[in-house]
Amino acid sequence: MHNDKLPAAEPRLTSLSHGGGCGCKLAPGVLRDILQGMAAMPVPRELLVGLETADDAAVYQLNEEQALIATTDFFMPIVDDPHDFGRIAATNALSDVYAMGGRPIFALALVAMPVDRLSTQTIGQILEGGASVCRAAGIPIAGGHSIDSQEAIYGLVALGLAHPRHIKRNADAQPGDLLVLGKPLGVGVMSAALKKGALSADGYAQMMACTTQLNTPGIGLAALPGVHAMTDVTGFGLAGHALEMAQGAQCEVQLDWRAVPLLPGAQALAAQGFVTGASQRNWAGYGAEVLLPGGFGAVDQALLCDPQTSGGLLVACAPAALDAVLSLFSQQGFGTAAVVGRVVAASGRASLVVT
């Protein structure tokens, strides 16, 4: 089993949180109810992407050549190693910039820590983990904010730039598009196993490799004419984010479950009951809008809704662009990227159909 080396007398990071990673997100239905209560605000014409389609980031056009991408993401520990926690959180936060087709330019750190329970050394390791990812992305952490908190929370405000014509929303898929998923599923299942001491060292390594791989292909994908829509798969699971894509485009998304890549061992762990509460909340929030095939079991349903922390890009592209999309993923080390479905015209309301 994987055992993190922790300073003497300090608690495991995951013991300080009621949920970890993107599994901390509010349930889809709860979030929808909260946002419905917001008063309408004036929207300047320069705001290219706002709240309207629950996209990955806000986008504000600066001039004819530049659009500013702004996003923030933070959560509680998904692992016990402080440096690894920082790496995962930072990778996840930067992913939203890549998912919009942008290049990150700098970040701000968001830090909330129980300073009476964690040493400054441990907190420093969390921040250094995040900084190491930002260095790999070629950007600085230029500031931030910190508070004392009962639970450990870390993340980033991430800013990026893109050409306005290269911005990729989650709502612009077109009938006939193919769907490509850049990373395998199963992070939530593996984090649940880790928290209960049931994840092997190899499983931990697989999870870390997935969650700390920057979604840099998003920059090149956004420049391909045949790429119509992008998002990243995070807390709402593949089903939730594919459904958002269907609803934004008013189309039907057909998902080929047998083609969806999974992290090695994730299915076996899910079968043993290592499933997050967020997976169940996700299904409760949007399951009525998902059509499953006969015989689709509870394990597969849990993986379909499994909250991904720092998950892969979900790309809707024309069939003629598929080779270029897969080649770009492969060139940047995303060897498991695969075609997982297609977009068709909706016969009624927008929906997700799993086959």
Contact 182, 329 (CB under 8 A): yes
Rounded CA separation 148/56 (Å): 28
How far is CA 340 from its chain centroid? Answer: 17
**Cα separation values, 37 from 33, 34, 175, 203, Å:** 7, 6, 33, 42
Place of tokens 């970040």: 107
Catalytic residue among 22, 210, 251, 317: 22
- Report the DSSP beta bridge partners of residue 154: 75, 111
What are 281's two structure tokens? 């909340």
Q: What string of H, E and C letters represents the secondary structure of the chain?
A: CCCCCCCCCCCCHHHHCCCCHHHHCCCHHHHHHHHHCCCCCCCCCCEEECCCCCCCCEEEECCCCCEEEEEEEEECCCCCCHHHHHHHHHHHHHHHHHHCCCEEEEEEEEEEECCCCCCHHHHHHHHHHHHHHHHHHCCCEEEEEEEECCCCEEEEEEEEEECHHHCCCCCCCCCCCEEEECCCECHHHHHHHHHCCCCCHHHHHHHHHHHCCCCCHHHHHHCCCCEEEEEECCCCHHHHHHHHHHHHHCEEEEECHHHCCECCCHHHHHHCCCCCHHHHHHHHHHHHHEECCCCCCHHHHHHHCCCCCCCCEEEEECHHHHHHHHHHHHHCCCCCCEEEEEEEECCCCCEEEEC
Q: Is 22 a catalytic residue?
A: yes
Residues with a catalytic annotation lie at 22
